[in-house]
Amino acid sequence: MTLKVHFKPTDIVQLADVKTAAKNIAPFAHRTPVLTCQSLDRLVGHNLFFKCENLQKTGAFKFRGAVNALAQMSPDELAKGVVTHSSGNHAAALARAAQIFGTQAHIVMPSSASVIKRRAVIGYGGRVIECEPNLDSRLEYADRIQAETGATMIPPFNDVRIIAGQGTAALEFLQQVPNLDLMVAPIGGGGLMSGTCVTVSATSRRCRIVGAEPEGADDAFRSKEVRKLLPQTNPRTISDGLLTSMGKLTWPFIRDIVRQIVTVSDEETIAAMKLFLERTKVLMEPSSAVALAAVMSPKLMDLEPDRNIGIIVSGGNVDLDNLPW
Amino acid sequence: MTLKVHFKPTDIVQLADVKTAAKNIAPFAHRTPVLTCQSLDRLVGHNLFFKCENLQKTGAFKFRGAVNALAQMSPDELAKGVVTHSSGNHAAALARAAQIFGTQAHIVMPSSASVIKRRAVIGYGGRVIECEPNLDSRLEYADRIQAETGATMIPPFNDVRIIAGQGTAALEFLQQVPNLDLMVAPIGGGGLMSGTCVTVSATSRRCRIVGAEPEGADDAFRSKEVRKLLPQTNPRTISDGLLTSMGKLTWPFIRDIVRQIVTVSDEETIAAMKLFLERTKVLMEPSSAVALAAVMSPKLMDLEPDRNIGIIVSGGNVDLDNLPW
């Protein structure tokens, strides 16, 4: 199955939307720090800059998009609540954003979701509705809640408010480190990457964009090769934030603006996650470590030595009782 | 066995020595960041500030003292090298400092030291000399190297240059967060705590000092109770940086300036280490987690709510293949 998508990226989200999002989230989100590490630089032969979205509120960049979406809702809409289906970082981010905006988040989670992720949603005041661990069940439950409550659906990535919100990470990053030659981010549904594309293509002439994907969930890589949106079927990877297919609104950015997609094995991802923790003392999740693994991969495009490479560390929510090594 | 020590703290190291040390180390050491975390604040009921010496060069505050010691050596002395016996963070710090000052570090390490710690020393250009895993053997080997090479002994804590160097962490900390009500640091040999005492007692009227120790290596706690320096025998704790006894130069600070010593179980230490990693995404070693555990302990002195508590996170060198949970 392939899907034809005729959108141009500039039809979807523009830099002005990202700048508005930056204003919307400023009172609530961290301007996350950029971390550097000389010993990693020596190892890789480039100057690495890590934008620490793992230190963002709720432990992931997802908070940016969720807050931006809620900031654009009317009081009447907010009064009816918000709903999403997610087993991961978007769920926690939406729950926390809803708490801030004084509304109720209904989160449809598969029964297979980890106890830790359920607990995070509940800790932020979210209402968890358990469904079967498949997409049909998730959509059915989410639809039912929308019908019953009038809650607004806030999708995890295929949404212009979400894409604009996620683009604020790259906006800050280029303010903090203007001379980046390359920016690398993971691709799951493509929300972070799309926002990154909007920002980088509009504000930096020199900075190219590379996407990182697990070999076992390489729909973006395969789609880009044939320039057609191929959905991900049967993903297999420890990078649990990158299992989903891209959406119609995110694919055009990956198709037209991303220069290269580097796929990495789970072994490479685990090694990168462990190396980063050992050298920097900072924890990233596997879905983020794919980006560092991509930079260390022989598959990465040829670069002059000592380039300035920015890596968006998308999140740090890890079950410490089940570390992957 | 008890040792009589007649030094007054002010006879040993003064604030001026710490300020000189700060100048000595400024070209080489990181001014480490101070980290805060709202979810930990809510949990504890105070405003916690973490001085991240785990993000210091070589992953621990020990680099401060080592650089300060070498900065005071003459070219002739430097030409003959430096020697110490240590299985831990002081070894790596001295090796790295020696590399910076263009001299050779001879590090006597017990054969029981971990492969990771050996590798760190060798990675920084240090020469590792293996000895039996007991104090007599360590001293014998260190003496022999001193005799053979003329190298200068740089002890891990019982040394005025080391104490002054370690005091620079608290100096920065009070510049970064002037209104601390309490500063908490671990006590092993007492070098970090002594330097902290020099700085805090001379620069803050409101800030009191609390030491943290493992229950299984509680020589400072027991010594303070009887106001006599009791050596540590048969320490048992996972906090491998806190096994040693205090020295004659560090004990007077703990005796006269530290307000309270809180002892914690290894279980409390592990829980604190894990909680910190989960909430902040930052890794500290068990020997540092004792300080957070002390702040969370019911044994901590009574405090008004919402006090400003500074915690010196002394290091982050952890064998990731042997995490304690």
Q: In this predicted model, what pLDDT tens digit does every residue of A29-48 receive, in sequence order?
A: 999 999 999 999 999 999 99
In angstroms, how far is the first alpha carbon of chain A from the final one? 36
Residues A114 and A240 reside in one and the same domain = no
**Cα A57-A59-A64 angle, rounded to 5 deg:** 50
* Minimal Cβ distance to A283: which of B33, B283, B321: B283
Task: Tell me what pLDDT residue B204 has.
Answer: 96
3-state secondary structure of A243: coil
Residue B111 domain-assigned?
A: yes
Q: Which residues make beta-bridge pairs with A130? A: A109
Residues A165 and A148 reside in one and the same domain = no
DSSP secondary structure, A25-70, as one string: HTTTS----EE--HHHHHHHTSEEEEEEGGGSGGGBTHHHHHHHHH
One pLDDT digit (tens) per residue for chain B, 325 residues: 566 667 889 889 999 999 999 999 999 999 999 999 999 999 999 999 999 999 999 999 999 999 999 999 999 999 999 999 987 899 999 999 999 999 999 999 988 888 888 999 999 999 999 999 888 898 899 999 999 999 999 999 999 999 999 999 999 999 999 999 999 999 999 999 999 999 999 999 999 999 999 999 999 999 999 999 999 999 999 999 999 999 999 999 999 999 999 999 999 999 999 999 999 999 999 999 999 999 999 999 999 999 999 999 999 999 999 999 9
Residue among B170, B194, B197, B155 at smallest CA distance from B69: B155
Tens digit of pLDDT for each residue in A209-253?
A: 999 999 999 999 999 999 999 999 999 999 999 999 999 999 999
Domain boundary among the residues B100, B133, B153 is at B153
User: What's the CA gap between A317 and A54, in Å, rounded?
Assistant: 7
Domain boundary among the residues A135, A153, A171 is at A153
Q: Which residues make beta-bridge pairs with B34? A: B51
Determine the distance in angstroms separating the CA of B307 from the nearest CA of chain A, rounded to an integer.
23
Residue B1 domain-assigned?
A: no
Domain boundary among the residues A99, A118, A153 is at A153
Domain assignment of residue B98, given as a range = 63-153
pLDDT higher than 80, residue A1: no
Residue among A292, A275, A285 at smallest CA distance from A316: A285
**Disruptive mutation site among A281, A287, A313 for chain B (greatest number of B CBs within 10 Å):** A281
Tell me which chain B residue has its CA closest to the CA of residue A279.
B59
- Cβ atoms B294, B221 nearer than 8 A: no
pLDDT higher than 80, residue A4: no
- Cβ atoms B191, B65 nearer than 8 A: yes
- Cβ atoms A109, A87 nearer than 8 A: yes
User: What's the CA gap between A157 and A253, in Å, rounded?
Assistant: 13
3-state secondary structure of A212: strand
Tell me which chain B residue has its CA closest to the CA of residue A52.
B281
Determine the distance in angstroms separating the CA of A281 from the nearest CA of chain B, rounded to an integer.
5
Task: Tell me what pLDDT residue A83 has.
Answer: 98
Residues B175 and B236 reside in one and the same domain = yes
* Minimal Cβ distance to A277: which of B278, B280, B283: B283
Which ipTM score applies to this complex? 0.93
B218 or A5: which leads in pLDDT: B218
Residue A301 domain-assigned?
A: yes
* Minimal Cβ distance to A320: which of B55, B59, B278: B278
Name the helix (H) or strand (E) containing A22.
helix A15-25
Name the helix (H) or strand (E) containing A323.
none
**A229: DSSP letter:** B
Per the CB < 8 Å rule, is A55 touching B281?
Answer: yes
Residues B148 and B171 reside in one and the same domain = no
User: What's the CA gap between B119 and B116, in Å, rounded?
Assistant: 5
Residue among B92, B61, B254 at smallest CA distance from B171: B61
User: What's the CA gap between A305 and B53, in Å, rounded?
Assistant: 31
Residues A129 and A233 reside in one and the same domain = no
**Disruptive mutation site among B281, B282, B321 for chain A (greatest number of A CBs within 10 Å):** B281
Residues A33 and A91 reside in one and the same domain = no
Task: Tell me what pLDDT residue A216 has.
Answer: 97
- Cβ atoms A97, A66 nearer than 8 A: yes
Determine the distance in angstroms separating the CA of A186 from the nearest CA of chain B, rounded to an integer.
19
Residues B173 and B260 reside in one and the same domain = yes
Task: Find the radius of gyration of the CA atoms of chain A.
Answer: 18
Per the CB < 8 Å rule, is B325 touching A325?
Answer: no
Residue B4 domain-assigned?
A: no
- Cβ atoms B119, B92 nearer than 8 A: no
Determine the distance in angstroms separating the CA of A117 from the nearest CA of chain B, rounded to an integer.
12
φ, ψ of residue B308 in degrees (nearest 5): -95, 110
Residues A14 and A33 reside in one and the same domain = yes
Task: Tell me what pLDDT residue A112 has.
Answer: 83
> What is the tally of structural domains in chain A?
2
Residue A311 domain-assigned?
A: yes
Residues A136 and A271 reside in one and the same domain = no
Task: Find the radius of gyration of the CA atoms of chain B.
Answer: 18
Which amino acid is present at A144? R
Which amino acid is present at A215? E
Tens digit of pLDDT for each residue in A81-96?
A: 999 998 789 999 999 9
Per the CB < 8 Å rule, is B283 touching A284?
Answer: no
Residues B80 and B149 reside in one and the same domain = yes
Per the CB < 8 Å rule, is B320 touching A277?
Answer: yes
Residue A4 domain-assigned?
A: no
What is the token pair recorded at A172? 């800050």
User: What's the CA gap between B284 and B56, in Å, rounded?
Assistant: 12
* Minimal Cβ distance to B316: which of A33, A281, A284: A281
What is the token pair recorded at B45? 């009921």
Task: Tell me what pLDDT residue A130 has.
Answer: 93
Residues A184 and A294 reside in one and the same domain = yes
Counting residues of chain A whose pLDDT is more than 70, the rounded percentage is: 98
Q: How many other C-beta atoms can be found within 10 angstroms of the C-beta atom of residue A260?
A: 17
Per the CB < 8 Å rule, is B59 touching A274?
Answer: no
Lowest mean pLDDT, pick from A54-68, A143-157, A309-323, B129-143: B129-143
User: What's the CA gap between B129 and B255, in Å, rounded?
Assistant: 35
Give contacts of A277 with chain B, Cβ < 8 Å: 283, 320
* Minimal Cβ distance to B281: which of A59, A274, A323: A59
pLDDT higher than 90, residue A16: yes
3-state secondary structure chain B: CCECCCCCHHHHCCHHHHHHHHHHHCCCCCCCCEECCHHHHHHHCCEEEEEEHHHCHHHECHHHHHHHHHHCCCHHHHHCCEEEECCCHHHHHHHHHHHHCCCCEEEEEECCCCHHHHHHHHHCCCEEEEECCCHHHHHHHHHHHHHHHCCEECCCCCCHHHHHHHHHHHHHHHHHCCCCCEEEEECCCCHHHHHHHHHHHHHCCCCEEEEEEEHHHCHHHHHHHHCCECCCCCCCCCCCCCCCCCCCCCHHHHHHCCCEEEEECHHHHHHHHHHHHHHHCECCCHHHHHHHHHHCCCCCCCCCCCCEEEEEECECCCCHHHCCC
Give contacts of B323 with chain A, Cβ < 8 Å: 323
Determine the distance in angstroms separating the CA of A89 from the nearest CA of chain B, rounded to an integer.
14
Tens digit of pLDDT for each residue in B208-251?
A: 999 999 999 999 999 999 999 999 999 999 999 999 999 999 99
Name the helix (H) or strand (E) containing A233.
none
φ, ψ of residue A93 in degrees (nearest 5): -65, -45
Tens digit of pLDDT for each residue in A115-138?
A: 888 999 999 999 999 999 888 898
Task: Tell me what pLDDT residue B2 has.
Answer: 60
Per the CB < 8 Å rule, is B320 touching A281?
Answer: no
Per the CB < 8 Å rule, is B55 touching A280?
Answer: yes
Residues A190 and A292 reside in one and the same domain = yes
Residue among B187, B205, B188 at smallest CA distance from B258: B187
Q: Give residues with Cβ within 8 angstroms of A160, minimum separation 6.
A: A12, A13, A17, A249
Tell me which chain A residue has its CA closest to the CA of residue B321.
A325
By the 10 Å C-beta count (0-12 exposed, 13-18 middle, 19+ buried), B301 is classed as exposed
Which amino acid is present at A41? D
**In this structure, what CATH number is given to the domain that contains residue B112?**
3.40.50.1100
Residue B3 domain-assigned?
A: no
Residue A101 domain-assigned?
A: yes
Give contacts of B59 with chain A, Cβ < 8 Å: 281
Per the CB < 8 Å rule, is A281 touching B33?
Answer: no
